[in-house]
Amino acid sequence: MSLDTVSLGRTGTAVSEIAFGTWRFGRENDAGAIEIDEPRAHELLDTYAAAGGQFIDTADMYGDGRAESYIGSWLADRDREAFVLASKVFWPTREDPNGRGLGRKHLRDTIGRILDRLGTDYLDVLYIHRWDDDTPVEEFMRTLDGFVRDGKVNYLGASTFEPNAWKVTLANELADRRGYEPFTIAQPRYNAVNREIEGNYLEMCDHYDIGVVPWSPLAGGFLTGKYSRDAEPPAGSRGATDERFATSYLTEANFDALDAVESVASEVDATPAQVSLAWLCAHPQVTAPIVGARTVEQLEEDLSAAEVTLSAEQFERIAAAK
């Protein structure tokens, strides 16, 4: 298994066709225990790198900064230039009024902390983790542009939960007028059941030639095949323990889409998770989906999706199912 590389949107940087997300690194569970500690994080990063992976996604608030520190300690004995590092900023990281958002004070303080934890002097991609309605667009775009000019960041991206195409358009049009660095990468939620970015958001990305790097490519585990419309959710699963997840995902429309994924999986001798990822990899507007994993076995299964080839009919069958 060896991952190929693709162009990161319209930038001149090549990235792995599947990115590795680290949101579970250093995260405390409900019992207060660390979900993925540093040794296991390094094991997962080793697995990803052994498969040819080099596009690593994190954020300043993952594990209260521990995710970035784990990546930094892992990189200490490796060639930094061989990897493409992406992080994000917005959520609170300090207990003071300016410890969150996209205000200049918070951004300038946070970029230094991110770089220190990662043990590097620059980021390949810095995303805004969410839009900040309390900070003028002019302020945060000018500040982010300064990071690029200072060599602390190569490219800017927008990570979003709601597909607010007009907000990214507003920022990029202002950047064009002012000569600032624009957003060239987007990180929205997108998978075979969460299709809200289809339409205006993807059209906006196409217009600006923005690379799309989706998060939640397996719909929080729904697309792994562990759920059935005719059975109770497995004990301990999110469908059994999270009422919001169950209400959002365990629907007839979503099970129709899962049926299409599972039918294709049986035809190509792959798992539903692999087919769901292969569908995104084959999407003409998707740069690289971001996978996360708790175990090496899960990660190896996900990365093997790069070896799954879907026919045009199979791709369209899944696309039309939702």
CATH number at residue 148: 3.20.20.100
Full domain range(s) for residue 86? 5-219+284-308
Whether the predicted pLDDT of 57 surpasses 90:
yes
Write the pLDDT tens digit of every residue in 235-281.
889 998 889 999 999 999 999 999 999 999 999 999 999 999 999 99
The residue type at 66: R
Domain assignment present for 110: yes
- pLDDT level of residue 31 (50, 70, 90 thresholds): confident
Domain assignment present for 255: no
Domain assignment present for 71: yes
Domain assignment present for 211: yes
Q: At what angle do helices 252-268 and 312-320 cross, to 10 degrees?
A: 170
Domain assignment present for 279: no
CA distances from 122 to 49, 92, 117, 150 (A): 20, 22, 11, 9
Tell me which DSSP letter residue 201 carries.
Answer: H
Cβ neighbour number for residue 232 with a 10 Å cutoff: 11
Tokens 């004995």 label which residue?
Answer: 77
Residues assigned a catalytic role: 62
Domain assignment present for 318: no
The residue type at 277: L
Paired residues of 34 in beta bridges: 28
Whether the predicted pLDDT of 161 surpasses 80:
no
Q: Compute the average pLDDT of residues 137-158.
A: 98
Structural domains in the chain (count): 1
- pLDDT level of residue 107 (50, 70, 90 thresholds): very high
Q: Tokens for 6?
A: 């693709």
- pLDDT level of residue 32 (50, 70, 90 thresholds): confident
Domain assignment present for 170: yes
Domain assignment present for 250: no
SS3 of residue 187 by DSSP: strand
Write the pLDDT tens digit of every residue in 268-316.
999 999 999 999 999 999 999 999 999 999 999 999 999 999 999 999 9
Whether the predicted pLDDT of 1 surpasses 80:
no
Cβ-count burial of 240 within 10 angstroms (0-12 exposed, 13-18 middle, 19+ buried)? middle
